[in-house]
């Protein structure tokens, strides 16, 4: 964002000599004089172009952005925070990329074994580069896509399976690029057919879904994208629910879990400061060919936050205005031509009724948001690709829900947790800084709260690996199996958990003991028992919807989002190549816009068409820096993504790692930047000698 704002800060650049009074700094335009403007020759236009480009290239490069910084959306004074609450997965515990490969593999196995998907999809590997978080999946069309903050699909980011959907097809499918709000699923994935894949596990889920769709397409297998979506989602969920994932992690913690000393440092810092620490975490029947088991997870395939159209089977990127980003629509692993996207959607806009809600309910556009979404997206795309390649008829909705269920079952069954626990070093980052942070907070008198959806055995294994066997003594309240987002609704009571017997109590919980383990419960009871309310609470989580939306909207908690992708994105921002390209792109677009008021000859118009062509090439090039299919997690060309807009609404601050908090004093106040609105003057951004201002 800083790069783009700096484009209006060139104080010593002699700007173009156009005969008009408008400028990028918001000066008045004398529209009565437009009719008297003279045409410019192509030679003069190219001279203007050359002068501007030379001026842009002569500017000093901005100072690099520190990826360990904390970034502010809303003013927050740490001195006012008495209680610090945390999610477990990807907040306190940082997992290695190997976990996504594991989740993808388990989800694929669940699809083949439990849902009878073609075994060939097992050969389709997980590509960690395929997707980004926050993508939306249209469960009706089977399109995976990136949607910006205004519900506009980012053309060029719509995929069906692993193949991009042509922009024309996206526009046709959506009657443009805008997705109506009713089509968007809610914060928790409910409602709407546009489901966003948001959490940190979304990438394997996205990749799995895309691989499945790709397989179906390549094998001419008829399918409903919605079925694939929900199959993949359920399969991945079952890997979690069954305990298989947790068991795998616990069996080899070094393989999956980063052991970060900084986490302990942070906890100690908070505890030493007298802060209270709170931990809150969540820890059908179909036939799929066994061949999909050969389709491996590609970690480069997708990004989080994509949407999947469960009706059309398209995976795509949607912007903040519900517009599909053409060029990011995939059916399986193949891009969907823009013409097809436009035809399918009657443009590129997705009606709001088609978008699933925060929690994935409602609408056929389902967004794949969490950190586990990428394997799910890839699996779904691989399955669709397999069906397409083998001429297998399928409904995208079936594939979507099959994949979703398969992945959910990997979670629910405990299979995923079992795999992680069996090799912690492989899956979990061991960060010493986590302990430092906990100690810093505790020493400052802050209360520490852990709320997680994961079960105690899994959390204990990971936390002991990272912080030591006495980790629970750091926290004032520990809540496992919290069932977020249901935790934020006043229904289920708390139950005390006996660590020795592994059983829950039957009596009512009326008080919390430090170091004791509690399960389930709800937000109302938590606040009544502890007396911790609203503005004094700062809760960190990786899932913008499940962890943060209800906490800030309903409870008034202050919130911090953990966005691991930030580090890589900032690295790209800081590159000289990207800075030069995006600076020139913005300047060139400004030049094109201001030249429109001239009464030009056909030759001059031809020059402008060349500029527009160069601008389009620059847009694609700057997008592909982040992901060749879907681009940045945060931006669809010039618009913020659907994910980015929600991040700014539900997170007061955001950062790449929880331990970035160690870089700040606990009395630090985070101030958001004042960004000029479109109708406001960009103070201090005028150009000396700008002919537009004369």
Per-residue pLDDT at 358: 61
Question: Which stretch of 35-44, 243-252, 571-580, 651-660 has the lowest confidence by average pLDDT?
Answer: 35-44
Q: What is the mean pLDDT of residues 35-47?
A: 75
Which comes out higher in pLDDT, residue 667 or 505? 667
* Residue 691 clears pLDDT 80, i.e. is over it: no
- Annotate 176-199 with b (16+ C-beta within 10 A) or e (fewer): bbbbbbbbbbbbbbbbbbbbbbbb
Is residue 622 a contact partner of residue 615, using CB atoms and an 8 Å limit? Answer: no
* Residue 171 clears pLDDT 80, i.e. is over it: yes
Report how many domains make up the chain: 1
Residue 539 to residue 560: CA distance in whole angstroms? 6
Is residue 100 a contact partner of residue 299, using CB atoms and an 8 Å limit? Answer: yes
Averaged pLDDT score across all residues of the chain: 84
- From the list 343, 306, 338, the residue with the least C-alpha distance to 209 is 306
Residue 174 lies in a domain: yes
Residue 132 lies in a domain: yes
Q: What is the mean pLDDT of residues 302-307?
A: 88
3-state class percentages of the chain: helix first, strand second, coil last, to nearest 5: 40, 35, 30
Per-residue pLDDT at 349: 92
Q: What is the mean pLDDT of residues 18-44?
A: 49
Residue 384 lies in a domain: yes
The tokens 């979304």 sit on which residue? 202
Top mean pLDDT of 96-105, 129-138, 195-204 is at 96-105
pLDDT in tens, 426-453: 999 888 899 999 999 999 999 999 999 9
* Residue 668 clears pLDDT 50, i.e. is over it: yes
Which comes out higher in pLDDT, residue 650 or 595? 650
Q: What is the mean pLDDT of residues 89-112?
A: 90
For 191, the token pair is: 């409602």
* Residue 1 clears pLDDT 60, i.e. is over it: no
Cα–Cα separations (whole angstroms), residue 16 to 260, 604, 609: 53, 15, 18
Furthest CA-CA distance within the chain: 87
Per-residue pLDDT at 461: 95
Helix (H, G, I), strand (E, B) or coil at 148: strand
Q: Tell me the percentage of the chain whose pLDDT exceeds 90.
A: 37
Please classify residue 108 by burial: count the beta carbons closer than 10 Å to its beta carbon, then call 0-12 exposed, 13-18 middle and 19+ buried: buried
Residue 353 lies in a domain: yes
Residue 420 lies in a domain: yes
Residue 371 lies in a domain: yes
Per-residue pLDDT at 149: 85
Per-residue pLDDT at 426: 93
Please classify residue 40 by burial: count the beta carbons closer than 10 Å to its beta carbon, then call 0-12 exposed, 13-18 middle and 19+ buried: buried
Per-residue pLDDT at 37: 55
Per-residue pLDDT at 558: 94
Per-residue pLDDT at 190: 59
Which pLDDT band holds residue 189 (cuts at 50, 70, 90)? low
pLDDT in tens, 474-506: 999 999 999 888 888 766 788 889 888 887 776
Per-residue pLDDT at 29: 35
Helix (H), strand (E) counts: the chain: 21, 43
pLDDT in tens, 277-298: 888 776 523 457 778 888 888 8
Phi, psi of 324, deg, nearest 5: -75, 135
For 607, the token pair is: 């020059």
Residue 328 to residue 316: CA distance in whole angstroms? 5
* Residue 662 clears pLDDT 50, i.e. is over it: yes
Residue 328 to residue 510: CA distance in whole angstroms? 51
Residue 506 to residue 495: CA distance in whole angstroms? 7
Where in the sequence is the domain holding 369, given as residue range(s)? Answer: 97-255+291-425
pLDDT in tens, 324-349: 999 999 999 999 999 999 999 999 99
Helix (H, G, I), strand (E, B) or coil at 681: coil
Which pLDDT band holds residue 685 (cuts at 50, 70, 90)? very low
Residue 560 to residue 90: CA distance in whole angstroms? 13
Which comes out higher in pLDDT, residue 667 or 407? 667
Question: Which stretch of 105-114, 181-190, 212-221 has the lowest confidence by average pLDDT?
Answer: 181-190
Residue 226 lies in a domain: yes
Residue 599 lies in a domain: no
Is residue 633 a contact partner of residue 643, using CB atoms and an 8 Å limit? Answer: yes
Per-residue pLDDT at 34: 37
pLDDT in tens, 363-397: 788 888 777 888 888 898 998 899 999 999 988 88
Which pLDDT band holds residue 31 (cuts at 50, 70, 90)? very low
Q: What is the mean pLDDT of residues 1-7?
A: 38
Helices (H), 534-641: 550-553, 565-574, 576-595, 602-624
**Is 524 among the annotated ligand-binding positions?**
no
């Amino acid at each position: 964002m800083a790069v783009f704002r700096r484009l209006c800060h060139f104080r010593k650049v002699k700007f173009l000599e156009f005969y008009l009074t408008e400028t990028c700094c918001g000066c008045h335009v004398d529209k009565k004089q437009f009719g008297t403007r003279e045409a410019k020759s192509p030679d003069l236009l190219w001279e203007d172009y050359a002068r501007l480009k030379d001026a842009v290239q002569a500017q000093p490069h901005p100072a690099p952005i520190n990826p360990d910084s904390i970034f502010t959306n809303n003013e927050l004074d740490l001195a006012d925070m008495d209680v610090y609450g945390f999610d477990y997965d990807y907040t306190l515990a940082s997992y290695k990329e190997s976990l996504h490969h594991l989740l993808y593999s388990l989800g694929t196995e669940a699809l083949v074994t439990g849902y009878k998907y073609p075994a060939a999809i097992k050969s389709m590997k997980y590509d960690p580069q395929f997707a980004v978080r926050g993508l939306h999946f249209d469960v009706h069309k089977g399109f995976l896509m990136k949607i910006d903050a205004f519900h506009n699909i980012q053309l060029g980011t719509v995929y069906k399976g692993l193949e991009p959907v042509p922009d024309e097809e996206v526009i046709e499918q959506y009657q443009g690029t805008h997705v109506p709000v009713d089509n968007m699923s809610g914060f928790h994935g409910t409602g709407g057919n546009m489901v966003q894949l948001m959490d940190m596990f979304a990438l394997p889920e996205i990749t799995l879904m895309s691989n499945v769709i790709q397989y179906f397409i390549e094998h001419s297998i008829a399918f409903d994208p919605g079925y694939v979506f929900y199959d993949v989602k359920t399969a991945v969920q079952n890997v979690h629910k069954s305990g298989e994932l947790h068991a795998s992690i616990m069996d080899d913690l070094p393989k999956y879990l980063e052991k970060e000393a900084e986490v302990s440092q942070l906890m100690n810092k908070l505890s030493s400061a007298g802060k209270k620490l709170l931990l809150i975490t969540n820890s059908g029947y179909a036939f799929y060919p066994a061949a999909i088991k050969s389709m491996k997870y590609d970690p480069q395939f997708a990004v989080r936050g994509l949407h999947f159209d469960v009706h059309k089977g398209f995976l795509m990127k949607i912007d903040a205005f519900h517009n599909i980003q053409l060029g990011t629509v995939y059916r399986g692993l193949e891009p969907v031509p823009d013409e097809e996207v436009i035809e399918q959607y009657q443009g590129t806009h997705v009606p709001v009724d088609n978008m699933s809600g925060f929690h994935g309910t409602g609408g056929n556009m389902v967004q794949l948001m969490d950190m586990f979404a990428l394997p799910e997206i890839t699996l779904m795309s691989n399955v669709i690709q397999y069906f397409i390649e083998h001429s297998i008829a399928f409904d995208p909705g079936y594939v979507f829900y099959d994949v979703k269920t398969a992945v959910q079952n990997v979670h629910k069954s405990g299979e995923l947790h079992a795999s992680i626990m069996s090799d912690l070093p492989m899956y979990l980052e061991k960060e010493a800084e986590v302990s430092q942070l906990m100690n810093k907070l505790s020493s400052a008198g802050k209360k520490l709260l852990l709320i997680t959806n994961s079960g105690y055995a899994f959390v204990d294994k990971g936390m002991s690996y990272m912080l030591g066997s006495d980790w629970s003594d750091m926290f004032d309240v520990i809540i496992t199996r919290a069932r977020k987002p249901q935790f934020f609704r006043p229904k289920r009571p708390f139950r005390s958990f006996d660590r020795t017997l592994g059983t829950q109590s039957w009596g009512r919980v009326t008080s919390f003991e430090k170091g004791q383990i509690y399960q389930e419960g709800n937000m109302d009871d938590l606040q009544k028992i502890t007396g911790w309310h609203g503005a004094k609470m700062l809760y960190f989580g990786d899932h913008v919807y499940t962890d943060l939306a209800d906490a800030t909207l309903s409870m008034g908690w202050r919130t911090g989002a953990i966005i691991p992708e930030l580090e890589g994105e900032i690295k790209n921002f800081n590159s000289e190549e990207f800075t030069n390209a995006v600076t020139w792109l913005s300047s060139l677009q400004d030049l094109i816009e201001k030249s429109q008021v001239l009464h030009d000859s056909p030759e001059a118009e031809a020059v402008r068409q060349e500029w527009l062509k160069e601008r389009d090439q620059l847009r694609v090039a700057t997008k592909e820096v982040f992901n060749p299919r879907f681009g940045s997690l945060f931006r669809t060309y010039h618009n913020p993504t659907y994910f980015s807009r929600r991040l700014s609404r539900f997170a007061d601050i955001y950062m790449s790692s929880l331990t970035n908090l160690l870089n700040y004093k606990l009395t630090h106040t985070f101030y958001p930047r004042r960004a000029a609105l479109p109708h406001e003057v960009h103070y201090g951004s005028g150009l000396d000698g700008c002919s537009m201002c004369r």
